[in-house]
Structure 1
C-alpha cells in the first residue's frame, strides 16, 4: 500500500549551515575525483589505441570496462548503503578505486591491454559505490526544495574535472609522436617494442597520483562526522525493495533516459580527439586542448544550469538542452571542417545538467525506494559501456569515418527529450 511520505531527509535538528558545509564540500570533492577518472578516458582511449595497436571497437572496451562495473556493482552498492550507511560506503568506494588506479603501473610495465581493462573495471566498481552514495546524499543534504539545485552544484565540480583532466592528460600522457603503419613496419622489433612501452608508461604517474588522492580523501571522510540520512514518514510503511522501485513509472523511464544520456556523453568524449584529428586535421596534443575546452563548456553549463534552474523548471530546461544537443549532433554529422569540432564542444554545454537533473527527477517522490532507485539509476550508467561500442562498430563498418558514428548519440538525446516532455511525470505505480 502506498502512503504519503516526506521521502528521505536528514533530521531537522542537524540542518545547520556549518554542520552541513563540510560534508557538502567533501561530496563535491567526490564529484571532482570521479570526473577526473571519466574524463581521462577521452585521453586514454586514443592513447591506448596507439600504444596497443587497437581498432575502434577494441579501444572502446576502455569505456566498456569501467561502465560495466556500474552495472554489476549497482546492487552490491545499494546493499552496502543499507548495511553500512553513506560514510562507510563512500570510504569503501574510494579505497577500491585507489586499488584500481594503482594497478595501472604493472599493466603499463607489461604493456598488457587486458591489465588496463581490469584496472579500469576495479576503478569503476569503486566509483559506482561513490555515485550510488553521493548523488542521493547531496540531493537530501538540506531542504527538499533545493535538492535539484544542490545536486547540480555538486555536479558542477564534475564539470570542473572535465576541464582539467584533458589538459593534464594531454600534457602527461600524450606524447604527440605518431607513426604510420609503414613507418612502424620499417622499425626493428626492439625499436617498436621500446616505442610502445614508452607510450604505455606515460599513464603510470598520473594514475599513481590519482590513487594517492583517493586514499587521502578516504582518510578525510573517516575523520569527518557526516549526518546520516533517516527516513521520515507520516505513516508507517514497509522498506523499499530493489525490484519494487521500478513500479514507479517515472523512475523506470528515468533509468532508460540515463542509460541513453550516459552513452551519448561517453560517445562524444571518447571519440572527440579522433574526430578533431580526422575532421580538423590537428595533432593529438592540440586535440586534447580542444577536449579541455569542451570540458570548460561542460563546467560552465553546470554552473549556468544551476542558476537557470532557479527560474525554469528542471524538466523544461532538460528538454530544451536535449533538443539543442540533438541538433548539434546533426550538424556534426553533416558538416565539414573545424567548426564540426566546435559543435561537439557546444554539446558539452548542453549535456551539462542532464545527468543530475534526470537523477533528481527520477528519485522524486519515491519515498523508501530512494536508495533502490538510486542503485537503478547508477546501474543505468552501463549505457557508457554499451553505446560507445555500438558507435565504434558503426565507425568501423563505415571505413573509419568518425562523423557518421555521431548518429548514435543523436538518437540517445531524442529519448532524453521524451523524458523531459512527458516521462518525468509522477504517475501511479505500474503495479
Structure 2
C-alpha cells in the first residue's frame, strides 16, 4: 500500500478501511434521503394542488430538522462518542421514514412535515457525527481529501434517490395533470380523493422500504468496531467553545459559505423540475407526461454529473489548492446561471444541469477548510456547519416566492430571473474560496 493510501486509510499503522466503509455508507444513505425528497416537492404540489411556495414547506421541514438537532447531536457526541452519534442518527432516520405510513393514513399534507422533520433530525445526527469523524480518523493533513472521498459516495445515494422519485414515483402517479385535478376537485371531489389516495400510496412506498434498509445498516454499525478519536475534543463549556469558534475567521466564514452553498444546491435541484416543465410544457407545447419524462432525464444527468464530479474533484485536490479550486468552480457555476437566466429553451436547461458539475466539490471542501485548526472542537465545529444547512430552508422560500409572482422583468419570466438567487449564493462561496489560503498537501 502506498503512503497516500496509508494516509487516508490507516491511523498510527492500524487499518481503518472497514469502519471507514461503514461510515461512508451513511453518506450514501443521507444522499438518498435528500434526493428522493427534492423531486417530491413537485409531486406534493400536484397531489394536494398547492402552489410552489406552499409545497416548498417540504424543504422547510426537511432542513429545519438539520438546524434544530445539530447542537444536541454535538452534546450527545461529546458525552458518548462519534459512533454513538451515528447509531442515534440511524435510529431517528428510520423512525422518520417509517412515520410516513401513519402520515399517509391522515391524507393531509401537514401530517408529512413532522415525519420529514424527525427524519432530518436523524440526518443531522449523521452529518454532525460522520463528517468530523471521517476527518478525524487519520491525520489532519489528509482530512479534507478523506472527507471528499467519503462524500463522493453521497451523490451515488443521491442518484439512486432521484431515480426512485423520478422514475418509480413520478411514473406511477395518476397521469391526470394539474388542470384536470383542479376540475375534479370542484366537480367530482370523490374522484379527486381517490386519485390522491392512490398517489399517496405510491409516494410512501420508497420511505417504507428505506426504513427497513436503515435498520439493517444500524445493526451492522453497532457490530462494527470503530477507531477511537481520543484527543480530538476538550471539555470546555459549550458557550466558551462557540465563542472561540466564532472568533476563528476561517471557521466563521466557512459556516456562512456553507449556508449559502446548501441553499444554492437545494434550489438548483428542486427547481430544475420546474424549469424543465417551463421549457417543455410552456415553451415547446409538449404534453404534461412527456414534459415530465424529458425533465426527469435532465435531472438524472445533473445528478450523474455531480457524482462523477465528486470523484474527479477528489483527485484534483491532490494537485490543486482547495480554496483555489473551490473559487474556480463557484465562478463557473455563476457563469452557468447567467445562461439559465438569459437563455430560453433547452440551452438554458443544459446550463442548469452543468451547475451540478460545479457543485460537486463544494460541500466537503468548505467543510474541510472550515475545520482546519479546530481539531479539539470537532464535534461543535461540525454542529455549526450542519446548522448552516438551514440555508436549504431559507433560500428555497425566497426563490419560490419569486417564481410564484409570475411577472416579467426586462423580458425575463419569473422562472428565469428567480435563478439570480443561487447566483448570489455562489458569489459568497467564490469569495470564501478566494479569501482562504488553505493549503491541501500534495500527493
Give me the TM-score of the superposition, normalised by structure 2.
0.89
Aligned equivalent of 2:221: 221
Distance 1:329 1:360, change over 3 A: same
RMSD of equivalent CA atoms: 2.1
Structure number with higher relative contact order (C-alpha < 8 Å, ≥ 6 residues apart): 1
CA distance in 1, matches of 2:36, 2:376: 36
CA distance in 1, matches of 2:221, 2:123: 15
Name the SS of the counterpart of 2:231 in structure 1: strand
Name the SS of the counterpart of 2:50 in structure 1: coil
Name the SS of the counterpart of 1:387 in structure 2: helix
Aligned equivalent of 1:5: none
Q: How does 1:47-126 map to 2 (within 5 A)?
A: 47-126=43-122
Aligned equivalent of 2:176: 178
Report whether the alignment pairs 1:342 with 2:350: yes
Contact kept in structure 1, 2:276 and 2:295, CA below 8 Å:
yes
Shift of 1:116: 1.0
Shift of 1:110: 2.1
Aligned equivalent of 1:353: 361
Higher deviation after alignment, 185-194 or 45-54: 185-194
Shift of 1:85: 0.5
Aligned equivalent of 2:3: none
Shift of 1:271: 0.9
Shift of 1:143: 2.5
Aligned equivalent of 1:259: 259
Alignment partner for residue 18 of structure 2, among 2, 19, 22? 22
Shift of 1:424: 6.0
CA distance in 2, matches of 1:93, 1:237: 23
CA distance in 1, matches of 2:178, 2:426: 36
Shift of 1:244: 2.6
The number of aligned residues is 413
Name the SS of the counterpart of 1:54 in structure 2: coil
Deviations 1:77-118 (A, max 9, x none): 110110110111111110101111011112223222111111
CA distance in 1, matches of 2:211, 2:143: 31
Report whether the alignment pairs 1:402 with 2:415: yes
Name the SS of the counterpart of 2:152 in structure 1: helix
Report whether the alignment pairs 1:318 with 2:326: yes
Aligned equivalent of 1:300: 308
Name the SS of the counterpart of 2:242 in structure 1: coil
Alignment partner for residue 166 of structure 1, among 157, 162, 180? 162
CA distance in 2, matches of 1:122, 1:424: 38
Shift of 1:331: 0.5
Aligned equivalent of 2:410: none
Contact kept in structure 2, 1:315 and 1:420, CA below 8 Å:
yes
Alignment partner for residue 141 of structure 1, among 137, 141, 154? 137
CA distance in 1, matches of 2:174, 2:293: 6
CA distance in 1, matches of 2:394, 2:272: 18
Distance 1:192 1:423, change over 3 A: same
Distance 1:13 1:124, change over 3 A: closer
Distance 1:424 1:237, change over 3 A: farther
Aligned equivalent of 1:362: 370
CA distance in 1, matches of 2:315, 2:373: 23
Alignment partner for residue 386 of structure 2, among 378, 386, 400? 378
Contact kept in structure 2, 1:14 and 1:227, CA below 8 Å:
no
Q: Which sections of structure 2, spanning at least 5 residues, go unmatched?
A: 1-6, 282-289, 408-412
CA distance in 2, matches of 1:344, 1:134: 30
Shift of 1:312: 0.1
CA distance in 2, matches of 1:46, 1:268: 14
Shift of 1:167: 1.4
Aligned equivalent of 1:416: 429
Contact kept in structure 1, 2:101 and 2:204, CA below 8 Å:
yes
CA distance in 1, matches of 2:176, 2:255: 41
CA distance in 2, matches of 1:386, 1:424: 29
Contact kept in structure 2, 1:280 and 1:341, CA below 8 Å:
no
CA distance in 1, matches of 2:349, 2:144: 31
CA distance in 1, matches of 2:90, 2:175: 34
CA distance in 1, matches of 2:232, 2:102: 48
Shift of 1:176: 6.4
CA distance in 2, matches of 1:424, 1:279: 41
Deviations 1:132-191 (A, max 9, x none): 010011112222222111111111111112222221212221126132435632551111
Shift of 1:42: 2.2
CA distance in 2, matches of 1:182, 1:134: 46
